């Protein structure tokens, strides 16, 4: 009788233990399911990456603080694909963070191949010609910008992605589509200029309204901020008092004397001989394009040495500030100058000297300056060739080897009513710097150099100083498919319940045979 009572008690205790174990397992599974669903729906997570890859910076939030118009960020594929794809993962997660942080932002992810009618309006534009399932569309009202997923990254020369620049790209696009009046960027015409759709699209993505202008007939509008002269074959007219002709270069000069006017010039070394008026004008800004071509066999992506890899300026000067973010990384991407003429500084300008750190003898800073009656100008290199480069003419060296300026920037500073205004002239003497091969590529930094110039040269709502995030290496985790990720998630969710059930079973067995 006593044995039956003991067995009954053990059976009762064992049943209770099994029931409690089952209930505990059920509770754990239920809680996991609830939290998983909530995290997916409301984007709940803890960012444990060193670079805070999935956390918006305070600089970005400040840049977006004045936005009020509704903005939709549209992806062209489903969320599962975006999360599983290495290229779109960070872009999509950043968009979700923007939507969570700001009431005016929303995110939509739809497969463009399955729902083509939803994307038909974008394909009617020239920008939409490159629309793909990895495209990102930022729109507000009738304005929209289309960016490729590649545009959000920096890549090494071998194509491997090493940094994420998503906040800056999103900020520029959002501020662009929500602006009431876009500043105007003019491309000059009627001088045989080269048309580059990639360059024009880059200017648009930076937030400009792109237009064309014949300076012999029209003057830039008051809301213009930039003039681009891209590989002209024929000269610009200068002032001719006898003929009373309209001077195109006078129109450029008046534009640069406005509050925020800037100029970008891309010249072909084969054409500069016939551009005497334009070259004389650039001379006043300190820019002299030499009659030769830089060859650097030690620092080139071509065997002939004429596709020169630019060396970033790291001095404490204006030119270096355009490339500081890129040059400051562990492995800066290459900037290519194909068949480029060296640029020297005109004799109107004198070297700037510095006597910092208690130096008794001032040393050159790398910048040159000129002081006029009402304004001052300074000029410095943005990128140079390597020390072993040669200046070549007709296949023969014309100078000793050395470092030649490949891109320079000149700035004029004026003080009006105690407020400083600046105008900029950026020049590089190669017709190929803006080629689609370089401007569309995420391997070379040509497009990023130009984009940095837009920020520096008076583009008032391109946010500066947004952090560049160097990507961590996740190895196999980063390359997981959605199915693999789901299997790992399920496995991790089941670990604790299975362990609990095993412990419960062990307790029952021990009590049963005790």
pLDDT in tens, 58-67: 889 988 988 9
Tell me: pLDDT of 139 over 90. Answer: yes
| CATH of region 58-169 | 3.40.30
Residue pair 171/463 in contact by the 8 Å Cβ criterion: yes
| Mean pLDDT computed over 172-188 | 86
| Mean pLDDT computed over 240-257 | 82
Sheet holding 135-140, edge to edge: 105-109, 71-75, 135-140, 143-148
What is the residue-averaged pLDDT of the chain? Answer: 81
Which among 59, 61, 40, 157 is positioned nearest to 104, based on CA atoms?
Answer: 61
Residue 358, sorted as left (phi over 0), alpha (psi -120 to 50) or beta, turns out to be left
Burial of 417 (0-12, 13-18, 19+ CB in 10 A): exposed
Tell me: pLDDT of 205 over 80. Answer: no
Tell me: pLDDT of 138 over 90. Answer: yes
Q: How confident is the model at residue 9 (pLDDT cuts 50, 70, 90)?
A: low
Give the length of the chain: 514
Percentage of residues in the chain with pLDDT exceeding 70?
74
* Per-residue pLDDT at 245: 63
| Mean pLDDT computed over 236-256 | 82
Residue pair 215/189 in contact by the 8 Å Cβ criterion: no
Q: How confident is the model at residue 241 (pLDDT cuts 50, 70, 90)?
A: low
CA distances from 240 to 282, 302, 502 (A): 18, 45, 96
| Mean pLDDT computed over 139-156 | 84
DSSP 394: T
Numbers of helices and strands, H then E, in the chain: 14, 24
Residue pair 76/135 in contact by the 8 Å Cβ criterion: yes
* Sign of the CA dihedral with 2 first, then 3, 8, and 10 last: positive
Tell me: pLDDT of 156 over 60. Answer: yes
Tell me: pLDDT of 24 over 60. Answer: yes
Tell me: pLDDT of 341 over 70. Answer: yes
* Residue 261 vs residue 121, higher pLDDT: 261
* Per-residue pLDDT at 475: 38
Tell me: pLDDT of 16 over 70. Answer: no
* Per-residue pLDDT at 210: 92
CA angle 151, 155, 157 (to 5 degrees): 135
* Per-residue pLDDT at 127: 45
DSSP 362: -
Residue pair 369/378 in contact by the 8 Å Cβ criterion: yes
* Per-residue pLDDT at 260: 77
Percentage of residues in the chain with pLDDT exceeding 90?
39
Mean pLDDT: which of 43-57, 92-106, 242-256, 493-507 is highest? 92-106
Tell me: pLDDT of 484 over 80. Answer: no
Residue pair 340/428 in contact by the 8 Å Cβ criterion: yes
* Per-residue pLDDT at 137: 94
Alpha-carbon distance of 128 to 147, in angstroms, equals: 10
Say what angle helices 482-512 and 2-42 make with each other, to 10 degrees. 160
Non-local CB neighbours of 502 within 8 Å, separated by 6+ positions: none
* Sign of the CA dihedral with 355 first, then 360, 366, and 368 last: positive
* Per-residue pLDDT at 469: 76
Which among 256, 278, 309 is positioned nearest to 421, based on CA atoms?
Answer: 256
Tell me: pLDDT of 263 over 90. Answer: yes
* Main-chain phi, psi angles of 366, to 5 degrees: 100, -10
Q: How confident is the model at residue 48 (pLDDT cuts 50, 70, 90)?
A: very low
Q: What is the DSSP string of 416-428?
A: ETTEEEEEEEEEE
What are the pLDDT digits (tens) for 439-477? 877 788 898 888 888 777 755 455 556 777 777 654 333
* Per-residue pLDDT at 40: 53
Which among 9, 26, 18 is positioned nearest to 509, based on CA atoms?
Answer: 18
Integer Rg of the chain from CA: 31
* Per-residue pLDDT at 482: 43
* Per-residue pLDDT at 35: 59
Residue pair 213/186 in contact by the 8 Å Cβ criterion: yes
Non-local CB neighbours of 115 within 8 Å, separated by 6+ positions: none
Residue pair 259/399 in contact by the 8 Å Cβ criterion: no
Alpha-carbon distance of 233 to 271, in angstroms, equals: 6
* Per-residue pLDDT at 169: 86
């Amino acid at each position: 009788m006593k044995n039956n009572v003991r067995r009954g008690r053990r059976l009762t205790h064992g049943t209770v233990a099994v029931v409690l174990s089952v209930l505990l397992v059920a509770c754990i599974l239920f809680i996991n399911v609830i939290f998983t669903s909530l995290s997916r729906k409301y984007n709940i997570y803890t960012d444990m990456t060193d670079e805070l890859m999935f956390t918006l910076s305070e600089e970005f939030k400040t840049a977006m603080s004045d936005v009020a118009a509704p903005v939709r960020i549209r992806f062209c594929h489903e969320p599962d694909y975006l999360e599983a794809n290495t290229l779109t993962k960070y872009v999509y997660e950043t968009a979700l963070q923007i939507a969570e942080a700001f009431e005016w932002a929303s995110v939509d992810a739809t497969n463009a191949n399955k729902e083509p009618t939803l994307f038909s309006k974008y394909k009617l534009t020239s920008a939409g010609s490159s629309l793909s399932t990895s495209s990102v569309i930022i729109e507000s009202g009738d304005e929209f910008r289309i960016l490729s997923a590649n545009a959000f990254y920096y890549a090494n020369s071998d194509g491997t992605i090493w940094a994420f620049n998503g906040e800056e790209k999103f900020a520029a696009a959002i501020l662009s589509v929500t602006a009431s009046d876009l500043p105007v960027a003019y491309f000059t015409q009627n001088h045989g200029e080269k048309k580059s759709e990639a360059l024009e699209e880059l200017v648009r993505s930076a937030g400009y309204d792109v237009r064309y202008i014949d300076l012999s007939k029209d003057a830039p509008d008051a809301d213009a901020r930039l003039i681009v002269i891209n590989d002209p074959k024929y000269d610009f007219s200068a002032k001719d008092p006898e003929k009373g002709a309209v001077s195109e270069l006078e129109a450029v000069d008046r534009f640069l004397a406005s509050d925020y006017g800037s100029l970008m010039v891309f010249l072909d070394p084969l054409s500069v001989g016939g551009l005497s008026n334009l070259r004389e004008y650039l001379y006043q800004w300190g820019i002299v394009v030499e009659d030769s071509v830089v060859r650097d066999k030690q620092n080139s992506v071509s065997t002939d040495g004429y596709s020169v890899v630019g060396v970033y300026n790291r001095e404490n000067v204006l030119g270096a500030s355009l490339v500081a973010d890129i040059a400051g990384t562990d492995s800066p991407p290459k900037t290519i100058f194909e068949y480029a003429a060296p640029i020297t500084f005109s004799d109107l300008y004198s070297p700037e000297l510095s006597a910092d750190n208690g130096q008794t003898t001032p040393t050159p800073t790398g910048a040159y300056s000129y002081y006029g009656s009402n304004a001052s100008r300074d000029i410095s290199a943005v990128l140079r060739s390597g020390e072993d480069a040669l200046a070549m003419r007709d296949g023969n060296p014309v100078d000793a080897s050395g470092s030649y300026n490949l891109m320079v920037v000149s700035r004029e500073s004026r003080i009006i009513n105690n407020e400083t205004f600046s105008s900029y002239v950026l020049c590089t003497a190669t017709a190929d710097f803006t080629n689609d091969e370089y401007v569309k590529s995420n391997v070379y930094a040509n497009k990023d150099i130009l984009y940095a110039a837009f920020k520096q040269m008076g583009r008032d709502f391109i946010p500066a100083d947004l952090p560049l995030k160097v990507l961590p290496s996740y190895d196999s985790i980063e390359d997981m498919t959605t199915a693999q990720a789901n299997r790992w998630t399920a496995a991790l969710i089941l670990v604790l319940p299975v362990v609990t059930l095993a412990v419960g079973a062990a307790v029952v067995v021990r009590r049963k045979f005790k």
